[in-house]
Amino acid sequence: MGLNSYSFRVRYAETDQMGVVYHGNYAQYFELGRVEWLRAMGITYKSMEDKGIMLPVISLHIDYKKSAVYDDLLTVRTKLTSKPLVKIAFDYELVNETGELLATAHTVLAFMDKSTGRPIKCPDYILEKLED
């Protein structure tokens, strides 16, 4: 269901003195995957926020397999795990340019009304795009 790939290069600032990507940066890589997954459907975080919807992460799980290093060309593969209701869940794979699996992850986010801070159901315009 809804697979998207997005590639980017590791920047020097994302690494430690040994040129290895700091583990905390992987969450940002998976966020890139999620943002680009939405963008591929014609939806941006900004457009959702402009419509009064926030999408905070409520769960993040990462399994590290191998280190990414400075200047690696990485690809994050983002896949929707099921039809979203009040929550939306994604699985991720992060690979380098030779196809080695570096990390896998799973996130769960909740649709929230920006003005009340309360959970809401997935907007119809997102559900409609998933049916296309």
pLDDT digits (tens, 9 = 90+) for 31-84: 999 999 999 999 998 999 999 999 999 999 999 999 999 999 999 999 999 999
Classify residue 85 by burial, with Cβ atoms within 10 Å: 0-12, 13-18, 19+.
exposed
> What pLDDT, on the 0 to 100 scale, is given for residue 28?
97
CA atoms within 13 A on the CB side of 9: 4
Average pLDDT, the chain: 95
**Residues above pLDDT 90, as percent of the chain:** 92
**Residues above pLDDT 70, as percent of the chain:** 98
**pLDDT of 105 over the 90 cut:** yes
**pLDDT of 132 over the 90 cut:** no
Cα 71 from chain centre: 21
- Find the catalytic residue in 16, 50, 71, 113: 16
Indicate if 91 belongs to the active site: no
Classify residue 72 by burial, with Cβ atoms within 10 Å: 0-12, 13-18, 19+.
buried
